[in-house]
Structure 1
Amino acid sequence: MRVGTGEFYNTAAPKARINMTLNEDLVRVAREYTDNLSDYVEKLLAEAVSEERRRKMENDRHLKEVCTSWNDFYEKHGSPAEDYIASFLPENDET
């Protein structure tokens, strides 16, 4: 895998022969657009995996921002639950 190419998998890896079950009519229609169905499916699969990786990284980034925001809030204001829970604790309980 070459660095900086945007590739997330080794495009020079050997091809693997696999078995797949696909809708026959969909395959017929797809063959109207390509004479190399394997290459066509490989490119579509790479695009789909790339999009899923992008979506996951964006989701991870968002969750990290939420956690940071919550931690900042907690540092400044404490937990909002502490005041609520305190009203249910006995007067001398220092939990």
Structure 2
Amino acid sequence: MGYDRNARKRPINLSMNENLVHRARSYTKNLSATVETLLGEFVDREALRRRDEDAAIDRVIDGLNAFHHSHGLLSDEFSAL
């Protein structure tokens, strides 16, 4: 995963809590780099979470398809109206 760390940087506008920004600056010399690192970690975690969620859905669908293949639909025993 990850992102292109060599991609062009451009200025953006963010609205952030003034007190939080002030406190964060007391812990880092480069707030932009810190935010970029944290945002990159978030994106990686979210991509992994979504991939895992998609895989879980695929497993459920595969299970339902296997059940249908083995047993048919539950409604198959009833005639159509």
TM-score for the superposition, normalised by structure 1: 0.79
Higher helix share: 2
What SS does the aligned partner of 2:4 have? Answer: coil
Residue in structure 1 matching 2:34, options 21, 40, 59: 40
The alpha carbon displacement at 1:14 in A equals: 1.1
Larger radius of gyration: 1
Q: Which runs of 5+ in 2 are unaligned?
A: none
Alignment deviations for residues 39-82 of structure 1 (CA, whole Å, 9 cap, x no partner): 00000100111111000000010011011010000000001132
Identity of aligned residues (%): 38
TM-score for the superposition, normalised by structure 2: 0.91
Q: Which runs of 5+ in 1 are unaligned?
A: 1-5, 91-95
Query: Would you say 1:23 and 2:7 are equivalent positions?
Result: no
Runs of 4+ in 1 over 4 A off after TM superposition: none
Instruction: Give me the whole-angstrom Cα distance separating, in 2, the residues matched to 1:81 and 1:49.
Output: 43
